[in-house]
């Protein structure tokens, strides 16, 4: 069963070591809160990327990062001492404080502008055009694993607001213009697009119910 997350960061950890191989790597992260009930084999997001804990001590956990993940996320640019956002998989009986997040990154964006608006920070994030179609005003997006609401959308970028708590509790308070960030678009939008593409432009109206979703392998 796929692990799910909420985009509500539990704590900032610190990269202790990153053992780089030819194309992959092994990451060691110092943490506290997420270690309370973390077991080997559990899922955890690091900057929004779903990884599997391969080892743990009282002060740290380790995780392997595949070559694919190194290529399509910002984990490949991490170095010892860097802060990272951490979140354990959500429990079935937990509150869903953010939105449904899988930890499967769609692409990498770039912070193009950062300006203060009273107590908040407004970030303008340039992102790949093929991802912008999943973004709508007041919709959700995960940025480095943080569930955020989209304020504005253009044909090139989006704007999000970072409240003081988020700036203090996550790495977005540390990242400036020119920094890359991991992006995961809203899961619901991607499912809807898949359903509409399969129907085609001339297809008659289709009742989308539980049986239909099962036939399409979506349940």
> Do residue 78 and residue 114 come from a single domain?
no
Q: 3-class SS at 66?
A: coil
127 inside domain: yes
pLDDT recorded at residue 194 = 83
> Do residue 54 and residue 128 come from a single domain?
no
Total count of domains within the chain = 2
* Cα–Cα distances in angstroms (integers) from residue 99 to residues 141, 146, 149, 162, in the given order: 8, 10, 10, 16
Domain that holds residue 75: 11-88
218 inside domain: no
> Do residue 43 and residue 117 come from a single domain?
no
29 inside domain: yes
> Do residue 162 and residue 122 come from a single domain?
yes
Give the CATH number, domain containing residue 125: 2.40.30.20
**DSSP element (H, E) containing 158:** strand 157-162
97 inside domain: no
pLDDT recorded at residue 203 = 59
| 30, 61, 88 - which closes a domain | 88
> Do residue 73 and residue 132 come from a single domain?
no
173 inside domain: yes
10-residue averages of pLDDT along the chain (219 residues): 88 96 95 96 97 96 96 94 96 80 96 94 96 94 97 96 95 95 92 78 64 75
Q: Tokens 């009742």 belong to which residue? A: 207
- Nearest 5 degrees, angle CA 69-CA 71-CA 75? 60
> Do residue 34 and residue 70 come from a single domain?
yes
> Do residue 30 and residue 68 come from a single domain?
yes
213 inside domain: no
pLDDT recorded at residue 195 = 80
């Amino acid at each position: 069963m796929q692990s799910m997350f909420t985009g509500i960061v539990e704590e900032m950890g610190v990269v202790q070591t990153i053992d780089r191989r030819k194309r992959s790597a092994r990451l060691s992260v110092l943490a506290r809160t997420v270690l309370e009930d973390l077991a080997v084999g559990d899922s955890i997001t690091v900057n929004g990327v779903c990884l599997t804990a391969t080892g743990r001590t009282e002060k740290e956990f380790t995780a392997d990062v595949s070559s694919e993940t190194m290529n399509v996320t910002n984990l490949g640019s991490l170095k010892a001492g860097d802060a990272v956002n951490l979140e354990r998989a959500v429990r079935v009986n937990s509150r869903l404080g953010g939105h449904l997040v899988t930890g499967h990154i769609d692409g990498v964006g770039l912070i193009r502008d950062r300006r203060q608006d009273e107590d908040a920070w407004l970030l303008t994030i340039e992102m790949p055009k093929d991802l912008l179609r999943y973004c709508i005003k007041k919709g959700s997006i995960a940025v480095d694993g943080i569930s955020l609401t989209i304020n504005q959308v253009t044909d090139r970028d989006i704007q999000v607001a970072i409240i003081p708590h988020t700036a203090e509790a996550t790495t977005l308070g540390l990242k400036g213009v020119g920094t890359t960030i991991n992006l995961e678009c809203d899961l619901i939008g991607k499912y809807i697009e898949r359903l509409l593409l399969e129907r085609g432009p001339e297809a008659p109206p289709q009742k989308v119910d539980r049986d239909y979703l099962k036939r399409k392998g979506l349940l």
